[in-house]
Amino acid sequence: MAVPVLFVATFIWFPESPYWLATQGRDEEAKKAIGFFKGDVDLSAELEIVKNNIGTDELKINWRDFLLLGKLRNRRALLIVMVLVLGQQFSGNFGTMQYLEKVFQQSNIGIEPHVATIIVMAVSLVFGALSTATVEKAGRRSLLIVSSFGCAVTHIVLGTYFLLEYMHVDMTSINLLPVVDVVAFAIVYQVGMGTMTNILVGELFPPSVKAIAGAIATVFDSVVGFVVMITFDPIMEHYGSKVSYLIYGTSCFVLFIFVFAYVPETKGRTFGQIQDILGTLRPFRVSSDLSCCAGPCTTRPDKPKAQEA
């Protein structure tokens, strides 16, 4: 109970969203909030960008807003987010962490399974916190690429280990490999796949669609997560850990290809620039799409040049 109490005690001082404050006509408070979130910037200019990106009723959700998801840029943004959610769940993270002790019990790892579980959880917690410090330096796309590829490699290595063990190959000399591998998985998962999806929901959609898209992503995440959780144990019981982790490794590799082909970099870009990128997005041409905004963008942030379909 101490954690939520501490959260309330600290978060109560957190400023309101600049977008919401702008819709209420509370410009000075909006400037202070922008200063809190973005640091030393031109507050008046940033407030104008906020106002240009929203209308007076922009944050009031109505049924017509659902139709906005049919627009080209929003469709592409929703596709990106939904595939990331799917990849996040089929990365095997939640199933692995829930059944971690059971996974270690199936293999002679040389240390107590509950001790190995504590080590993995501690590493996951530390790197989950550190990921917030790396996201602005490394960028969203690059972290997702590294994370999805790293998760694929670690799962395939672990699946191969269990497969060789199933084939009665002597693995005594590397019996700590499952622990080291799961620790590596926890690290690469937390620095990218574990955090980037929620960030992109906030950056790819306009304010009028953001809440709806976030709700859809959350429901989809819960449904897929439920399916993964109820199938993890039966697959392990009937086919063994080898099949589970080879499936998860394949899923992560498919996600890696998708991220490389479709997911744009949003780091350091205005909402208008991101919308321009989404409007001209082509498979495996993300780098060229980004080049138009690598320097000063010739298009006004509030008026993307790409036309909606």
Domains of the chain: 70-266 (1.20.1250.20)
CB burial of residue 146 (10 Å; 0-12, 13-18, 19+): middle
Q: Which residues of the chain have pLDDT under 50?
A: 56-59, 287-309
Predicted pLDDT at 301: 41
Predicted pLDDT at 20: 83
Instruction: Output the pTM of the full model.
Output: 0.68
Predicted pLDDT at 255: 93
Residue 195 CB neighbours (<10 A): 21
Residue 143 is encoded by which pair of tokens?
A: 């972290």
Predicted pLDDT at 287: 47
Predicted pLDDT at 6: 93
C-alpha span between 61 and 173 (Å, rounded): 60
